[in-house]
């Protein structure tokens, strides 16, 4: 009887731990998206240009990309709970400071503090859950539900941010992190048990961390600023040069250090690589697509920030519903088939957005987003579980940091590529539409209307083209997972790889 009570208590504790890390992950990812909505107000208050304001987002992305692998290794080394709580507490401090910032330089500094701290969450949280939920099927469900919070935060950014900004000002999107963050930190202290790698660490790969940080900084910087600079401009070329050189140096360092910050042998595991490729494609399509929706809604449909946020309600619900359903299929259907089907559904949802125009209703946008999100969430458990299953347990933190890094870079790629395609296609459409159009008037007002209508038509057709390209990319990416081959795939934590 006593043993039964103990088991029930332990089972309840596991789900409290899951809720705790969901709060942390959701808050960290939410902050990354919600601030974009506040940029117009920040630009007005600080009296800065749109280009200068772009560094508020760029600084956050750069710091996040650089520090994710470092926190993952530190979590495995000194203790995941320590790193998680430390990151959470600094994130809260950075949020409050960002909410009190008085000019652009102060905002950028405080955003960097936020990002460095926030990047501790993902790798340590995934490792904590993989250790807490030891049974494969239960672990897959937990990881799936938790991973869905990553995607849900991207969706809830506009949904929550719009009303906050419209009613309480832009500072509220930072200050809201204080009460929620304190709750999450207290839950972490109360519920999470300390864990670390069983292998004693005597060396930390500082040189590897520094070189990796430099490489990622150059990569994310050119992805974020390339469309402004020009992809073949001197600034972009310098970034490409540093990415290539530092990548070579990083590989050389990791091959020769006793405890690398990124274990390159992971990339010899076909299942690990296949899962990363599928994650990259899906998140590139999703984040690139979601980035464009509020812009379209506010530019062509006349929506405000709050109304744009409402378009994402079905998407949020779909992710939350689909993630546990997909997790329940673990051990019943092979992971690659679940992921393949889910990616096809996501591609269908994106494709359905190709019909958007100035007469589109809220349902015309919300329904495709919901279908895309259902596809994304349906395969979330398997995508995350594969990463946790095919690497040694003592390196789960490092492996999960690689997954987080791939998703972050995928988002940056998606936004950069789709924004570039949108701009280029708009210019192409202007010339094409103009060549087939005629204006039988020399009145200046008519000429202005004529030009405006051509530009409007060109931009709307460009959005159609972007979503068509995104759907093709995700569709083709779905087939990469079919090469996944897990030997003796089953529901416990030991999954052997061919």
Which pair of structure tokens corresponds to residue 476?
A: 């083709």
Please list the rounded mean pLDDT of every run of 10 residues in the chain (498 residues): 53 79 79 74 78 72 75 75 85 90 89 84 76 71 72 70 82 87 85 66 72 81 77 89 91 83 80 83 77 78 76 80 77 82 91 85 89 84 75 72 78 78 78 62 61 69 86 85 64 36
The answer to whether residues 271 and 484 touch, using CB atoms and an 8 Å cutoff, is yes
Fold adopted by 2-205+257-497? Growth Hormone; Chain: A; (1.20.1250)
pLDDT for the residue 305: 67
**Residue 233 CB: number of other CB atoms within 10 A?**
14
pTM of the model: 0.71
Q: Residue 276: helix, strand or coil by DSSP?
A: helix
Sign of CA dihedral 55, 59, 60, 62: positive
Which pair of structure tokens corresponds to residue 301?
A: 């449909």
CA distances from 317 to 199, 313, 320, 495 (A): 41, 6, 5, 32
Q: Residue 486: helix, strand or coil by DSSP?
A: strand
pLDDT for the residue 136: 62
Task: Report which DSSP code applies to 31.
Answer: H
pLDDT for the residue 238: 92
The answer to whether residues 378 and 347 touch, using CB atoms and an 8 Å cutoff, is no
pLDDT for the residue 352: 92
Which pair of structure tokens corresponds to residue 66?
A: 């650089």
């Amino acid at each position: 009887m006593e043993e039964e009570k103990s088991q029930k208590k332990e089972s309840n504790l596991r789900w409290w731990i899951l809720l705790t890390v969901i709060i942390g992950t959701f808050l960290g990812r939410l902050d990354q998206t919600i601030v974009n909505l506040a940029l117009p107000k920040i630009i007005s208050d600080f009296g800065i240009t749109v280009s200068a304001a772009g560094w508020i987002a760029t600084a956050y992305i750069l710091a996040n990309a650089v520090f994710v692998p470092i926190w993952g290794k530190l979590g495995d080394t000194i203790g995941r709970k320590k790193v998680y709580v430390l990151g959470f507490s600094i994130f809260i401090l950075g949020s409050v400071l960002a909410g009190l910032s008085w000019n652009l330089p102060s905002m950028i500094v405080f955003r960097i503090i936020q990002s460095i701290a926030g990047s501790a969450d993902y790798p340590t949280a995934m490792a904590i859950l993989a250790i807490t939920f030891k049974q494969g099927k239960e672990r897959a469900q937990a990881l799936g539900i938790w991973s869905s919070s990553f995607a849900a935060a991207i969706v809830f950014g506009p949904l929550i941010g719009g009303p906050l900004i419209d009613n309480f000002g832009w500072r509220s999107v930072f200050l809201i992190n204080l009460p929620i963050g304190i709750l999450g930190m207290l839950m972490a202290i109360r519920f999470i048990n300390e864990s670390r790698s069983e292998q004693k660490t005597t060396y930390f790969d500082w040189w590897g961390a520094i070189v990796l940080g430099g490489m990622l900084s150059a990569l994310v910087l050119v992805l974020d600023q390339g469309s402004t600079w020009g992809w073949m401009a001197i600034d972009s070329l310098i970034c490409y040069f540093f990415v290539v050189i530092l990548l070579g140096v990083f590989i050389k360092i990791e091959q020769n250090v006793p405890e690398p910050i990124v274990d390159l042998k992971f990339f010899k595991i076909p299942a690990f690589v296949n899962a990363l490729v599928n994650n990259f494609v899906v998140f590139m399509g999703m984040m690139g697509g979601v980035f464009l929706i509020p812009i379209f809604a506010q530019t062509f449909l006349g929506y405000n920030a709050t109304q744009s946020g409402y378009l994402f309600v079905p998407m949020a619900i779909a992710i939350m519903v689909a993630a546990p359903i997909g997790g329940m299929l673990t051990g019943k259907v092979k992971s690659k088939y679940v992921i393949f089907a889910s990616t096809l559904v996501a591609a269908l949802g994106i494709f359905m957005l190709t019909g958007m125009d100035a007469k589109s209703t809220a349902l015309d946008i919300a329904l495709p987003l919901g279908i895309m999100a259902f596809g994304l969430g349906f395969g979330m458990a398997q995508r995350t579980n594969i990463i946790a299953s095919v690497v040694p347990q003592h390196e789960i933190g490092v492996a999960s940091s690689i997954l987080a890094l791939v998703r972050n870079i995928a988002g940056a790629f998606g936004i950069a590529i789709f924004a570039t395609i949108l701009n280029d296609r708009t210019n192409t459409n202007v010339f094409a539409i103009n060549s087939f159009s005629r204006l039988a008037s020399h009145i200046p007002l008519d000429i202005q209307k004529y030009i405006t209508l051509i530009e409007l038509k060109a931009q709307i057709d460009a959005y159609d083209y972007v979503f068509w390209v995104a759907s093709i990319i995700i569709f083709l990416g779905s087939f990469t997972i079919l090469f996944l081959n897990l030997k003796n795939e089953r529901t416990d934590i030991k999954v052997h790889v061919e």
